[in-house]
């Protein structure tokens, strides 16, 4: 009887453990430049202006069997904005736009993740930019995961969201075609 009870407890524990998948923790691989925070905004309605932020870090947790249990956290240095034009970048760092002297860091922290389809998710969270915190939704897609050539394990995602400039107290008037900016994110993380 004792043997049967112990066997049943062991089997129950194994099944319970299998049902509680644990999300793995990843550090975003910005150092190896396998992560990007890019943006695009209309220039007068005639063309697109593209740029990137060069200095950021962050982490995420992910379990393919239970993506809703994941979390994302990113810190970005606003002075690292680069639109491939020194004078424009100086203006973007000014109080007219990012006001980097007063707000040197932008942050994103997820509050929930919701599956929207095969390998697609809405990542809900709070973005703090230019001293203003607002909820945003990032439409994300899981790209893949697996071992890397250096003995590590990686997972990668891409995501997009649009931000209205005035929502983040960026009051500079750029014309009707330039009221919002699209963020284009590519994040590869190394499992810890």
- Report the C-alpha gap between 42 and 60 in whole angstroms: 31
Question: pLDDT value at position 22?
Answer: 77
Question: pLDDT value at position 130?
Answer: 97
Question: pLDDT value at position 21?
Answer: 54
Specify the pTM: 0.86
Question: pLDDT value at position 10?
Answer: 42
- Report the C-alpha gap between 58 and 154 in whole angstroms: 14
Per-residue pLDDT of the chain (192 residues; tens, 9 = 90+): 434 433 443 434 443 344 345 789 999 998 899 999 999 999 999 999 999 999 999 999 999 999 999 999 999 999 999 999 999 999 999 999 999 999 999 999 999 999 999 999 999 999 999 999 999 999 999 999 999 999 999 999 999 999 999 999 998 988 899 999 999 999 999 999
Report yes or no: 122 and 157 within 8 Å, Cβ to Cβ.
Answer: no
- Report the C-alpha gap between 190 and 182 in whole angstroms: 26
Q: Which domains does the chain have, with CATH numbers?
A: 22-191 (2.40.128.110)
Residue 23 β-bridge partners: none
Question: pLDDT value at position 173?
Answer: 85
Residue 136 β-bridge partners: 125
Q: Nearest Cα to 33, choosing from 13, 8, 52?
A: 52
């Amino acid at each position: 009887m004792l043997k049967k009870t112990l066997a049943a407890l062991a089997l129950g524990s194994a099944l319970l453990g299998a049902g509680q998948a644990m999300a793995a923790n990843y550090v975003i691989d910005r150092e190896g430049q396998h992560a990007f925070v890019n943006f695009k905004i209309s220039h007068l309605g005639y063309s697109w202006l593209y740029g990137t932020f060069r200095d950021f870090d962050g982490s995420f947790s992910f379990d393919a069997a239970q993506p809703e249990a994941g979390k994302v956290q990113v810190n970005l240095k606003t002075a690292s904005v680069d639109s491939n034009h020194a004078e424009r970048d100086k203006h973007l760092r000014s109080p007219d736009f990012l006001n980097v002297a007063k707000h040197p860091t932008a942050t994103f922290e997820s509050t929930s993740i919701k599956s929207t389809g095969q390998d697609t998710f809405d990542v809900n969270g709070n973005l703090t930019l230019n001293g203003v915190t607002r909820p945003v939704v990032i439409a994300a897609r899981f790209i893949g995961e697996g071992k890397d050539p250096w003995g590590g394990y990686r997972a990668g995602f891409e995501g997009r969201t649009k931000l209205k400039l005035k929502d983040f107290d960026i009051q500079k008037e750029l014309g009707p075609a330039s009221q919002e900016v699209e963020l284009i994110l590519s994040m590869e993380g190394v499992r810890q």
